[in-house]
Amino acid sequence: MILISTYNIKPKFQQALKPLLERLYKLNITANQITLAAILLSMLIGMSFWFHPSGFSFLIIAFGLLFRMGLNALDGMMARTYNMQSKLGEILNEFGDIVSDLFIYIPLIKLAGVKWYIVVGFIVLAMLNEFAGILAKVIGGERRYDGPMGKSDRALMIGILCLTYYFWDGIYLYVNYVFVFSILLLLLSTYNRLKNSLK
């Protein structure tokens, strides 16, 4: 069974970022600094939407998530390419992803039409999904990123949802179905990570 995930196009995405990676390295930017920038950006996005959950804030989330995806790719590329890998970097990366997701996802309970407990369920399962990926490294020595609802997939889904809210407010009638469907995909994604960690 082939499961489509944004992780499948990660190599092409990274290839497109290589010129920027080289420029950042020449500016003496480190992998950990990029990771911290991604965390700070996520906090700003989340706080912006919490206080202004409408209008232009939808665009801030949509394009902010895209920018964050770029930063998340760049920090790993920087660490691997220029030998900046460290235990501190790994902690910042994993812990930062969880903190960043919480800052961005919790304000989604303010979306028009959404049932807060469905969003909370989505957030809890997203955290468990990341935990399953980390647990796989403990069990099998390899971090798992299996979809179909990994970190980048969730960012893409939320980004598209917020763009839709900006251009069509009628989406509030269907938003709960979007989150329920995402929850089902999260369950499948978590199962895939745990199953593959045992191979």
The residues near 135 (Cβ < 8 Å, ≥ 6 apart) are 193, 194, 197
75-126 pLDDT per residue, tens: 888 999 998 888 898 899 889 899 999 999 999 999 999 999 999 999 999 9
Q: Which one is the CATH code of 8-197: 1.20.120.1760, 3.40.50.11540, 3.90.25.10, 1.10.10.10? A: 1.20.120.1760
The span from the CA of 25 to the CA of 46, in Å, is 29
Q: How far is Cα 7 from Cα 164, in angstroms, rounded to an integer?
A: 23
pLDDT for 139:
85
Is the pLDDT reported for residue 197 higher than 90?
A: no
Q: What are phi and psi of 2, to 5 degrees?
A: -95, 120
User: For 1-58, what is each residue's pLDDT tens digit?
Assistant: 444 566 667 677 778 888 899 999 999 999 999 999 999 999 999 999 999 888 889 9
